[in-house]
């Protein structure tokens, strides 16, 4: 049985990371921005797990992924809470309407 080469995983992960980055920079909906950040973290997870296949002496990559998953959940919780607080005050979830603090 032939296994999928490492590069494939890395390219998919890099593409996901790029999609997340571009989404973060271009979109204006706060929830989409949150999802973009989650996408970036998940692409990192994929990268770590993929690299763990070549660095088999320890399972650093796999263990790292567990921590990233747990932290991403905490981050999503805090982020959603902040977006909710923002929505309650401003009645919008668009980032370009957050313009009170300016020079």
Partner 1 sequence: MKTGLYLSISPLLVVALGGALLMLAEAFSHHREEHESRSAGPSSELALGTAITLFTGAIFAAAVWFVGPEKLDGSQDLAPWLIIDRFTLFFAFTICVGGGLASLLAGGYLPEHRIDRGEFYPLLTFSSVGAIILAAAGDVLTLFLGLEIMSLGVYALTGFRRGSARSTEASMKYFLLGSFAAALLLYGAALIYGATGHTDLAGIRAALVAGNLNYGLVLIAVTLMIVGLAFKISAVPFHMWTPDAYEGAPTPATSFMAVVVKSAAFATMLRVLLVAFGQPELSSWGAGWPPIIATLAVLTMTVANLIAGRQESVKRMLAYSSIAHAGYILVGVTTTMRLHEDGQASVMFYLLAYTVSTIGAFGALILCGSRGAEAVSYEDLSGLGKRHPAVALVFSLFLLSLAGVPPTAGFFGKLYIVKGAIGAGLYPLSVILLLNSVLGAYYYLRVLVFMYMREPAPGAPFARPMKSGYVTSALVLAAVAVVALGLFPTTSLEVAVRAALAP
Partner 2 sequence: MATYVPLLLLFLVGAVITGALFTLSSILGPKNPTPEKMMPYECGSESTGGRFVKPSVKFYLTAILFVVFDIEVVLMYPWAIQFRTLGWGGMATMGSFVSLLVVALIYVWKKGALEWET
- Give the residues lining the site for partner 2 (CB under 8 A): 1, 63, 66-67, 69-70, 73-74, 76-77, 80-81, 84
List, in sequence order, every residue forming a beta bridge with 94; answer none if it has no partner: 29
- Report how far residue 81's alpha carbon sits from residue 73's, in angstroms, rounded to the nearest whole number: 12
Rg, Å, the chain Cα set? 17
Residue 69 interaction partner, one of partner 1, partner 2, none, beta carbon < 5-8 Å per kind = partner 2
Read off the tokens for 101: 């603090």
Q: Is 67 a binder of partner 1 (CB under 8 A)? A: yes
**C-beta neighbour count of 45 within 10 angstroms:** 19
Q: Is 22 a binder of partner 1 (CB under 8 A)? A: no
Least distance from partner 1 to the Cβ atom of residue 1, Å: 24
Q: Which of 4, 61, 73, 96 binds partner 1 (CB under 8 A)?
A: 61
């Amino acid at each position: 049985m032939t296994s999928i080469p490492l590069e494939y995983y890395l390219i998919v992960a890099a593409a996901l990371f790029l999609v997340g980055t571009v989404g973060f920079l271009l979109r204006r909906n706060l929830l989409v921005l949150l999802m973009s950040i989650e996408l970036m973290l998940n692409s990192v997870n994929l990268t770590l797990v993929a690299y763990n296949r070549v660095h088999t002496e320890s399972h650093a990559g796999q263990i790292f992924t567990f921590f990233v998953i747990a932290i991403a959940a905490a981050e999503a919780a805090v982020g959603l809470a902040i977006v909710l607080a923002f929505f309650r005050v401003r009645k919008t979830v668009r980032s370009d309407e957050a313009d009170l603090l300016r020079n």
